[in-house]
Structure 1
Amino acid sequence: MKKLLYAIVVLFSTTALMAQTTVTGTVTDSESQQPIPGANVKVVGKSLGTSADFDGKFTLEVSENPPFSIEISIIGYSPTTVEITQNSQDVNVSLTEIATSLDEVVISASRTPERIMESPVTIERMDVRAIKNSSSPTFYDGLENLKGVDVNTNSLTNKSVNTRGFATFANTRFMQLVDGMDNSSPALNFALGNLLGMSELDVKTVEVLPGAASALYGANAFNGILFMESKNPFDSQGFSVYGKTGLTSSTNAGDNQFVDAGFRAAFAFSEKFAAKASFSFLNGTEWHATDYNQYIDNGAGNPDTVLPVQPGQTAFNQLNVYGDEVAIELDYDALAGTPAGTFGKSTVSRTGYNEEDLTDYEAQSIKTDISLNFRPMGDDFEIIWNSKIGKGNTIYQGANRYNIKNFFMQQHKLEIRNNNFFVRAYMTDEDAGDSYDMLFTGVNMNLETAPQWYQTYATTYIGAISGMIPGVPAGNPDVANNLARQNSDAQHTPQPGSAAFNTLFEKITNDPDLVTGSKFQDETKLYHADGNYNFAHLWDWADVQVGGSWRQYSLNSNGTIFTDYDGPIDYNEYGAYMQLQKKFADDRLKFTGSIRYDKSQNFDGNVSPRISFAYSAGEDRNHNLRASFQTGFRNPTTQDQYIGLDAGQAILVGSAPDNLDRYTSKPLELSPLGQLIVSAPTVQLSGRAAYDNSYTLASLYAFAASAGAGAPDPSLLEIADFAYVKPEQVTAFEVGYRGLIGKVTVDMSAYYNTYQDFIGNKTVVSPLYGNVDFSDVIPSPPLPTPTPAALVAISQGDYQPFQVYTNSEADISSYGMGLGLNTKIWNGYNVGLNYTWSKFDFDQSSDPDYEAGFNTPEHRVKFQFGNPNVFQNFGFNVNLRWNDEYLWESTFADAIIDARTVVDLQVNYTVPSIKSTFKVGAANLLGQEYLTAPGNGLIGSQFFASWTINP
């Protein structure tokens, strides 16, 4: 590997530096006298450096002649400087562990290094030490143990991180940056967890910034940001490898083995050239989704009514069953030629396919990261080429359930930086691979044989109910229906595992036309450039930063997701910002003011200010009080603007003005009366019908209820008047305290957010003919009395549901608080306890059709207890999480999610002689299986064992 990386570097230059001075040494912990692997050793003022090995030993070869100084540092310890006065000097350095995490340095809060203690806003942090001690199967899972952080499990490989409410698997209100690059899917506008992210061997720090941060980070820095920074090959050298295996275990999925392995290789070939490569591979089995109940919508703000399939029921729509949405009304008398009422009629659904039939549930993640680093002057000025390439399988739940299979995403970045500025540009390219919509797979597999199936069903039913089938009692509808379904399924429903099933499944999942297939086709790209300059080294009176960004989306789904039927849809966003920091009162009071302007091609410009004050009190400045006012905004996503997708139960149409006429629905069948009025068996609607000619869903329910009571009241139908979607905004107020009280570190905060123009879906119904204002009337005849055409359409069921993208006019606010306590007891045992309270206010009556989707428990408690060195080379850690029940709202289903208690545990043992750390652990040790959302896989336990060499 070293030779390979060296060959790559030689392409850049043939310059080599001959070492003249050699320094050796050992780095240990000042208290335990244990070696500190990975400590950075660097020549002061130069980029020359190396890292301590597993035994804490290092060898530094440099071209410098003594005297010069070296700095030894590592996260979690105070750095030390040593003077080198001669060649072949041997130094022994003891580093002192930072007494409190409040002394650790973060960057994301203000785009400049500062102690957590002095940060003007709430921030959570995880570093290499925390990753080593994590009781979770991966470092990304371990984020859930941070204060105020929620991790919603979509699948084994797809986790959605969220802070401060309004959680969703498609979390477009939360950003994820990996080495400064937005890790979101360009088409979906949210990150697929760490499916295509970072190997844990290469993680330097992870910072979570809860709440609004648009003043520095622009659009979509709305509800929080996750920053992941990798190790620089100049500073962290060597070869590391890990292997991990174990079992996932749940009632529905059984016991399934998983494997997770990877390596990292990093070398500095000189003071000017360094390179690294990392690779990781994970393969396992997803949690199985097996909810076969029916969810009956009770309207926004209410959980759905959950009903199992009843004996004798002929029409149903089970949650994790796909294809039973195919249903028609069979008029047995019309088919048999008998008088009306002889055999009657009923609505009959096809027998659907369970989700388990439509996916192999293979979870997979393959990630590669290559970086070439050039420091032409041997100092902090650095040119970086970075490529991140990932491929994987996962499950995603949105409006439907999607099997994301062989999904491919790559990012390529060129960055120029030093301690005072950076300029970078990167491209994100994705390919949906063999992904498909599981609902449409079941629906279109059943539509393929629907005529034959229903013919057999009707023939069998009529024969059975009339007593014409030997051995079948006449006049029993339940028996007749059961026999009809058995015969039809046997003849016309290919069974999973059969050759006929496999052939039909391959045909449907490789067809990107959702009228006949289910393939998820996408090759969307994103281009982004941004830069920042800090004038602090030039001006003493204040720390001033300026920066800006430009982004272009290039949507390319070939008309399967977006309305890009005739080629990619391109649109741009750009922004600029400035920040000023100034300290007063003997540097105890720090003022931070920021302002940013952003403009998207389809929307008016947006200004985002932020003001904060932080005051360090106490003789040792160990008590920090902070207060901030900040704003955030979120541009409508690519889907909010340009989607054109028939999702089965509703058509999703984005509201960009140039999108409405591009979308045209598939042919929609009319009732017999509708065919007479329109003089055609079907009609097609444009996307404009959803916004310009529709009724609200709540008013349709009211009208249907009046009709069911025998007195239909057309005045109850309310015309939907929803504006086109525009950016949503949040205004956030926060106060907090960080400090050291005795030996206890205290971090507490409280916030209040108000939202304006909250983006969301609203379901409307558009009549297949007629104007919703009743301006066109069908005369008599053909109707008994003149009647508005739209009223006829609604009464006959001739309407099409749409999900439109718009903004709520209701007042929505959220508020909460967090409290974290950490200390050490019994000479080295870490104890942590944190509590988060989250609440939101929304008057449902002010916007009956709107689902706010807060999707967050009101109360959450997390507890941690462990010791990385109980005795020599042995450590352990245990984490406990509890939250109360909460309402989950989504387009898939609404339900109350039960309270849960989850315990994770790990023990680890280090063997210095082979430079190895062994770890065994369990996530959800108690085995209390739980859901994070209705329709999702039931999450069980995960047991693991790992071996890491030279971590």
Structure 2
Amino acid sequence: MKKSNKRLSLFVGFWLMTTTWCLAQTRITGTVTEETSQNPLVGVSITVKGTVAGTITDNKGQFSLTTTVPTPLTVVVSSVGFQTREIPVENPSGLTIELREQVMLGQEVVVSASRVEENVMKSPVTVEKMDIRSIQSAPAATFYDALLNLKGVDMSTQSLTFRSVNVRGFSANGNTRVVQLVDGMDNQAPGLNFSVGNIAGISELDVESVELLPGAASALYGPNAINGLLLMTSKNPFQYQGLSAYAKTGIMSASNRSTATTPFYDAGIRYAKAFNNRLAFKASASYLSATDWQATDYRDQGFANGFTMANGTRPANPGYDGINIYGDASANLSAFQSTVAQFLPVPPAQIALISPPLAEIIGGINQLSAATNIPATQIINDVLLPNVTVSRTGYAENELVDYKVSSLKLNGALHYRINDNLEAILQANWGTGTTAYTGQDRYYIKGFSIGQYKAELRGSNFFVRAYTTQERSGDSYAIGILGQGINEAWKPSLDQSNLTGSWFPQYAFTYAGGALQTFGTAFTQAAASNPATAYQTALGAVNAMAGNLHTAARAAADQGRFLPGTPQFDQALATVTGRPLPGTLPNLGAKFLDRTNLYHGEFMYNFSKLIDPATVELIVGGNVRQYALNSGGTIFALDENNKEFKINEFGGYAQAAKTLADILKLTGSVRYDKNNNFKGQFSPRLSAVLTLAKVHNIRASFQRGFRIPTTQAQYINLNTPSARLIGGLPLFRERFNFSGSPVYTLESVRAFGAALQGGTALPQAAQALQQYQPQQWNPERVETYEVGYKGLINNKLFIDAYYYYNRFLNFEGAQVVVQGAQPATPANPASLLQLISGTTRNIYSFYVNAPVQVKNHGWAVSADYLLPGNFIVGGNVSYNDLANRGSLPSEFVTFFNSPKYRYNLSFSNRNIRGSGFGFNVIFRHQDAFLWESSFANTEATLRKQTTIPAFSTLDAQVSKRIPGIKSILKVGGTNVLGKLYTQAWGNPSVGGMYYVSLTFDELMNR
């Protein structure tokens, strides 16, 4: 009986909730027109303030809305490009509403700064916003690319379909310090912990607004929003109904590409419909296809032999390491000294069974030693196998990658208004595509997909949402490992059981044989005239012939090498890309197997309906999150049960705000977050906004942000051509026996090798080695101090300026260490020689905290001025600097990759004298700067060689509105002058892009 009563109560409660809207109804009707022309406005949003109830105007500018809110009430009337109005309503029938066009910025509403709607002028922190108008008028090829026009924004172009947004200096190709949200969903790829541009985001037709918060936002948005937050909001199907579509095509041109000029195609469609203002849905799709920009930087960053980027080439430098050349693994010839020396007592006939070239060398050494009284080991060490690094012949990136790129995005949502105060949303965003990005290696992301699926209940003062992000790597692979894998598939680099069939021994023995012959001939000739100097004379003859000896050695070792375009090469490529990472020598695999998922639940409640906002504005919220790592053991480490790890997090926050005398707003917030691998973190924020004369807004804030190490920083276990990437957690130090087999800093190993090469004896050279001592690893934290000003003067001049200062605690950077294949200890000096050869050592790269605080600061200013005729001239300039770079350890990689100065200048008009014609021209410039990353040679970084050159670009577009077909025709181009530039080390060169597009939208007046 009690169960029946409970069921009845639940049924009645649900029925009352879903039917309240039909009781005490108020019907609001009216017409919305443009103030000057009195033309009706289509698609204007009409909402009842404090509820989710709303509708839009029809083709005649008319609307009808039913609500349960009794009069008097307030309706909010808004449309992009017009000033928003709040209208008190007592008589709800036959309203006549006029909207005034808003040409200048300054009246927009933003939500990202405080999680509640507020005027952008009074935001407590810096906020940049793009709305539909600015997106439509941008000369960029996509709305995402247009972010580069905002002040203080850097972007790293790794592919036409993948750009990373970076702010305030600390940037990377995959930026884990900026959080990107799409309709409240974290848009990161869970296995990477950064967003892959907009390749799995929103279709341009479905974007309502984009807000960017440079700087820490952890106090409200949790971990990882330490340097910035990018919030993209899609169009609500209740407010944006009807059909819209676009088609865009053009050409891409860059002189460094295999085919300099190629076409691209981009198209999209969106449809939304509402039924009785209760049920609405939307669906959109977009597709892009093109031939990508190409990475063709073949400069030499192999510096072990004393070459630089200015003079290092494959013919000149035996240890050549091309930036966009892959598979050029290296080893030191001196590593084979002991291999040769151990055969000295063995009869040549027996050696011939193993390696005929080695037998000839041993015989020649013994004969020469007996004839000259020079110790055989001295001949081996000084003459035949000197301290010279050699590398295998690699493959260019365009030989390993099909540069055809694509992007397909499918988006859909179902909205149901349960009543005037509650809306239910089911949403799915799914994207797939092909692109490239640069990390420790270059990666070809082929056919990967990301799906995001959300269920949400939203009221006017709260939301509860749950979503999951599902990442699938498709046929993606690591390009560097592929190059090495093809070489290994043809011929192993080193196989102790088959020296004759191994590349490095073949090279070493061929070089040694030629050096032996050259030395012997020269020594005999020199000894006849001056025996005292014969040795040095002969050694000089070998050095003079070294170039020819290396050329001959490479030709011998490369004989039969798989060449691009041959069946053997194609078969090896298919085999290596079809084999999971990382494989084992010689059977390397380059394919990713990543099916990592993210699960997230979140809520937020605004007490505005329980507490008068005039007294205090109070919000609270919280979330739980889980990363379920799933790479089949190819990327992430396995636990003791041979399973991949799960990472659990939770957090909560509260914010209170108080406005005093209508001129000073004080806001305070605090958040607590906990990850199962680290201690909990508190993130407070305090801010004040002072408004003077209603148009001058001065703001100041202090906030603390933090970043939980990424899934890869915690658990990666991946062997790449340059190093084995391992997580920073203590379990890896135990797994790779750091305590039993010492590891040394890479910088000290280089100093050790340089000392040996300079002739220092082994015991003395070993004093340069520095053993790495593991330290505790903690989440990175930042304390940010910021002051700023926003002002709209005479409705003509809009100014926004800020200065910030960051103090990083536990700053996270990369540490590289070297470990001998066998324990290398000072107690056994000969064992230390393992450390200088790629064939006898292990290199590990992992994340650590900087031993000192990292500090940076910067500022930015933007100004837009409204000229007669609604012409707008504007510009912005930003400055970022790493304040204490000189106090950091020389080998510590900060990833501070930003020009000190960058600026934009613009001139535009959206509608010249009402003709429907518009234009926008933007000139951009940025200074040269040093690039630090795990892909760049860190020794080059120390030598200040990994510099990204300064560049300038010009973007422009001309548009024409065609009301008869409710369309906009746009012709434009980016980098129209066509001068190639790169934005990050190892990334492709970007050329000119020229396009024409036609966009149809039933809501044309927007």
> Which of 868, 885, 890 is the aligned partner of 1:826?
868
**Which 10-residue stretch deviates more, 834-843 or 857-866?**
834-843
**1:635 touches 1:728 (CA, 8 Å); kept in 2?**
yes
**2:636 touches 2:644 (CA, 8 Å); kept in 1?**
no
How far the C-alpha of 1:375 sits from its partner, in A, is 0.8
**Structure 1 409/723 Cα, relative in aligned 2: closer, same or farther at 3 Å?**
same
Does residue 761 (structure 1) correspond to residue 761 (structure 2)? The answer is no
**1:753 touches 1:815 (CA, 8 Å); kept in 2?**
yes
**Structure 1 922/27 Cα, relative in aligned 2: closer, same or farther at 3 Å?**
farther
Query: For 1:439-458, what aligned pairs fall within 5 Å after superposition?
Result: 439-450=480-491, 452=501, 454=503
> Which of 665, 675, 683 is the aligned partner of 1:608?
683
Query: For 1:829-848, what aligned pairs fall within 5 Å after superposition?
Result: 829-848=871-890
Does residue 385 (structure 1) correspond to residue 460 (structure 2)? The answer is no
Q: Which residue of 1 aligns with 2:932?
A: 889
**Structure 1 390/339 Cα, relative in aligned 2: closer, same or farther at 3 Å?**
same
How far the C-alpha of 1:477 sits from its partner, in A, is 6.9
CA distance, structure 2, for counterparts of residue 697 and residue 64 of structure 1: 70
> Which of 658, 668, 671 is the aligned partner of 1:582?
658
**1:25 touches 1:58 (CA, 8 Å); kept in 2?**
yes
> What does the per-residue CA deviation read over 1:636-677, in whole Å, with 9 as the maximum and x for residues that have no partner?
11111101111122111102234444xxxxxxxxxxxxxxxx
> What does the per-residue CA deviation read over 1:360-408, in whole Å, with 9 as the maximum and x for residues that have no partner?
112211111111111111x131111111111011001000000000111
Structure 1, gaps ≥5 residues long: 1-12, 468-473, 662-685, 778-786
Helix, strand or coil at the partner of 1:165? coil
Does residue 915 (structure 1) correspond to residue 966 (structure 2)? The answer is yes
Q: Which residue of 1 aligns with 2:535?
A: none
**Structure 1 159/716 Cα, relative in aligned 2: closer, same or farther at 3 Å?**
same
Q: Which residue of 2 aligns with 1:671?
A: none
Q: Which residue of 2 aligns with 1:674?
A: none
Does residue 810 (structure 1) correspond to residue 861 (structure 2)? The answer is no
Does residue 118 (structure 1) correspond to residue 113 (structure 2)? The answer is no
CA distance, structure 1, for counterparts of residue 152 and residue 546 of structure 2: 55
**Structure 1 891/347 Cα, relative in aligned 2: closer, same or farther at 3 Å?**
closer
Q: Which residue of 1 aligns with 2:522?
A: none
Helix, strand or coil at the partner of 2:984? coil
How far the C-alpha of 1:56 sits from its partner, in A, is 6.8
Does residue 282 (structure 1) correspond to residue 288 (structure 2)? The answer is yes
TM-score w.r.t. structure 1 length?
0.87
How far the C-alpha of 1:162 sits from its partner, in A, is 1.2
CA distance, structure 2, for counterparts of residue 198 and residue 162 of structure 1: 19
**1:316 touches 1:325 (CA, 8 Å); kept in 2?**
no
Query: For 1:510-521, what aligned pairs fall within 5 Å after superposition?
Result: 510-514=578-582, 515=584, 516-521=588-593
**1:594 touches 1:611 (CA, 8 Å); kept in 2?**
yes
Identify the structure with the greater strand proportion: 1
**1:904 touches 1:925 (CA, 8 Å); kept in 2?**
yes
Q: Which residue of 2 aligns with 1:783?
A: none
CA distance, structure 1, for counterparts of residue 700 and residue 855 of structure 2: 19
**1:844 touches 1:850 (CA, 8 Å); kept in 2?**
no
> What does the per-residue CA deviation read over 1:786-844, in whole Å, with 9 as the maximum and x for residues that have no partner?
x3575464477743221121100122111111111112102200111111111112244
**Which 10-residue stretch deviates more, 77-86 or 598-607?**
77-86
**1:283 touches 1:365 (CA, 8 Å); kept in 2?**
yes
| Aligned partner letter, 1:339 | G
**2:53 touches 2:421 (CA, 8 Å); kept in 1?**
no
**Structure 1 31/564 Cα, relative in aligned 2: closer, same or farther at 3 Å?**
farther
Q: Which residue of 1 aligns with 2:631?
A: 557
Q: Which residue of 1 aligns with 2:403?
A: 361
Q: Which residue of 1 aligns with 2:364?
A: 339
CA distance, structure 1, for counterparts of residue 39 and residue 958 of structure 2: 19
**1:732 touches 1:754 (CA, 8 Å); kept in 2?**
yes
| Aligned partner letter, 2:841 | Y
**1:690 touches 1:764 (CA, 8 Å); kept in 2?**
no
How far the C-alpha of 1:493 sits from its partner, in A, is 2.5
Query: For 1:388-537, what aligned pairs fall within 5 Å after superposition?
Result: 388-450=429-491, 452=501, 454=503, 482=551, 492-514=560-582, 515=584, 516-537=588-609
> Which of 930, 934, 938 is the aligned partner of 2:981?
930
CA distance, structure 2, for counterparts of residue 820 and residue 799 of structure 1: 52
Helix, strand or coil at the partner of 1:339? helix
> What does the per-residue CA deviation read over 1:516-571, in whole Å, with 9 as the maximum and x for residues that have no partner?
21101101011111111111221121001111111111111111111137223102
| Aligned partner letter, 1:531 | F
Q: Which residue of 2 aligns with 1:710?
A: 760
CA distance, structure 1, for counterparts of residue 164 and residue 441 of structure 2: 17
| Aligned partner letter, 2:364 | P
CA distance, structure 2, for counterparts of residue 494 and residue 27 of structure 1: 71
**Structure 1 453/290 Cα, relative in aligned 2: closer, same or farther at 3 Å?**
farther
CA distance, structure 1, for counterparts of residue 608 and residue 92 of structure 2: 36
| Aligned partner letter, 2:684 | P
CA distance, structure 1, for counterparts of residue 511 and residue 837 of structure 2: 26
How far the C-alpha of 1:694 sits from its partner, in A, is 1.1
Q: Which residue of 2 aligns with 1:242?
A: 246
Q: Which residue of 2 aligns with 1:135?
A: 139
Helix, strand or coil at the partner of 1:652? strand
> What does the per-residue CA deviation read over 1:728-784, in whole Å, with 9 as the maximum and x for residues that have no partner?
110010111111234311111111111111111111112333365x4xx4xxxxxxx
**1:769 touches 1:789 (CA, 8 Å); kept in 2?**
no
Structure 2, gaps ≥5 residues long: 1-17, 341-355, 366-378, 493-500, 518-541
Helix, strand or coil at the partner of 1:723? coil
> What does the per-residue CA deviation read over 1:130-169, in whole Å, with 9 as the maximum and x for residues that have no partner?
1111110000000111111112111111110011111101
> What does the per-residue CA deviation read over 1:306-338, in whole Å, with 9 as the maximum and x for residues that have no partner?
543153544422111112226674889625344
> What does the per-residue CA deviation read over 1:461-494, in whole Å, with 9 as the maximum and x for residues that have no partner?
8999999xxxxxx9977667657756765x6323
**Structure 1 629/84 Cα, relative in aligned 2: closer, same or farther at 3 Å?**
closer
> Which of 211, 214, 217 is the aligned partner of 2:218?
214
Q: Which residue of 2 aligns with 1:678?
A: none
How far the C-alpha of 1:920 sits from its partner, in A, is 0.8
CA distance, structure 2, for counterparts of residue 851 and residue 374 of structure 1: 50
**Structure 1 907/796 Cα, relative in aligned 2: closer, same or farther at 3 Å?**
closer
Q: Which residue of 2 aligns with 1:731?
A: 783
**1:555 touches 1:564 (CA, 8 Å); kept in 2?**
no
Q: Which residue of 1 aligns with 2:728?
A: 655
> Which of 744, 750, 753 is the aligned partner of 1:695?
744
Helix, strand or coil at the partner of 1:737? strand
Does residue 595 (structure 1) correspond to residue 595 (structure 2)? The answer is no
How far the C-alpha of 1:505 sits from its partner, in A, is 0.9
CA distance, structure 2, for counterparts of residue 551 and residue 65 of structure 1: 37
**1:810 touches 1:843 (CA, 8 Å); kept in 2?**
no
Helix, strand or coil at the partner of 2:898? coil
CA distance, structure 1, for counterparts of residue 782 and residue 416 of structure 2: 41
- Percent identity over the alignment is 40
How far the C-alpha of 1:49 sits from its partner, in A, is 4.4
**Structure 1 298/121 Cα, relative in aligned 2: closer, same or farther at 3 Å?**
farther
**Which 10-residue stretch deviates more, 737-746 or 939-948?**
737-746
Does residue 547 (structure 1) correspond to residue 621 (structure 2)? The answer is yes
Does residue 79 (structure 1) correspond to residue 155 (structure 2)? The answer is no
Q: Which residue of 2 aligns with 1:8?
A: none
Q: Flag the structure with larger Rg.
A: 2
Q: Which residue of 1 aligns with 2:209?
A: 205
Helix, strand or coil at the partner of 2:106? helix
**Structure 1 928/16 Cα, relative in aligned 2: closer, same or farther at 3 Å?**
same
Identify the structure with the greater helix proportion: 2
**Which 10-residue stretch deviates more, 749-758 or 454-463?**
454-463
**Structure 1 15/592 Cα, relative in aligned 2: closer, same or farther at 3 Å?**
closer
| Aligned partner letter, 2:597 | K
**1:811 touches 1:843 (CA, 8 Å); kept in 2?**
no
TM-score w.r.t. structure 2 length?
0.82
**2:125 touches 2:701 (CA, 8 Å); kept in 1?**
yes
**Which 10-residue stretch deviates more, 347-356 or 474-483?**
474-483
CA distance, structure 1, for counterparts of residue 681 and residue 21 of structure 2: 50
